[in-house]
Amino acid sequence: METFGNTLSFHSFAGHMEESQTYEKILEKAEALFMKYGIRSVTMDDIARHLSVSKKTLYQYFADKDDLVYKVSTVFLDRTFRQYDSIARDSKNSVEELSKISVCMKCDMENMNPSMLFDLQKYHPKAWGLWNEHKRKVISEAVIGNIRKGIEDGYFRPEVNPEILAIIRVALIEVAFDAEVFPRDRFNMASVQTQLFDFFVHGLCTEKGKKLYQKYKENTPITNQPNEAVL
């Protein structure tokens, strides 16, 4: 009888693990498709077909596409937050942190469809709210903390206001996504973000900081790693 009870417990645990794995696979595949094609152009049928499951299976885990988009955004932003935190903890100084962030930013832009954030803003306001909160709390606070540290170390100009510079940094990120400012047929979004980032850093750094930043840029490999943080 005891063995029978344990068998039931095992089957129950195995079933729970299988459901959890299916849920995570759906989120992973949906994120990859959204990143590649944008959100609006990807249907629940598309996701089901790429996963080789029925659309009914998707609706066992998500109420609708809006719910799926919201949960994909939650997972993506949580991963981004953890990456920011890891970069801040592992960097030897504020300039190294900026250098690592620039690599992450370039990789992310190369793997993100330009329409993705526009689709979020227009068609999925609840998920867009998450991104705005992330922008305000995670990105802005990370920039402010980095600038304060850089000023103390002599790498960043002491007269700059960290809060103002954080607002400018966020604005530069957002303008790169504006197709009216940077038409997609004329500009590559990763290149735009990289140029804007360098512009920001050179306006922020002292001569000491610029030299160290250039050194990190020359010695840091640019790899195509998807889903990295954007700052």
- pLDDT score for 219: 78
What is the predicted pLDDT for the residue at 223? 41
Percent of the chain beyond pLDDT 70? 86
Is 2 or 88 the better-scoring residue by pLDDT?
A: 88
Q: What is the pLDDT of residues 139-157, one digit of tens each?
A: 888 889 999 999 999 999 9
Q: Give me the torsion for CA of 193, 199, 203, 204, rounded to 10°.
A: 30
Q: What domains are there in the chain, each with its CATH number? A: 65-219 (1.10.357.10)
What pLDDT, on a 0 to 100 scale, did the predictor assign at position 221?
Answer: 53
pLDDT value at residue 8: 52
Residue range 151-182, pLDDT digits in tens = 999 999 999 999 999 999 888 888 888 888 99
Least confident of 6-15, 155-164, 168-177, 208-217: 6-15
For residues 101 and 128, the model is more confident at 128
How far out from the chain centre does Cα 188 lie?
18
Q: What is the DSSP string of 94-162?
A: HHHHHHHHHHHHHHHHHTS-TTHHHHHHHH-HHHHHHHHHHIIIIIHHHHHHHHHHHHHHTSB-TTS-H
Residue 111 and residue 124: Cα distance in Å, rounded?
21
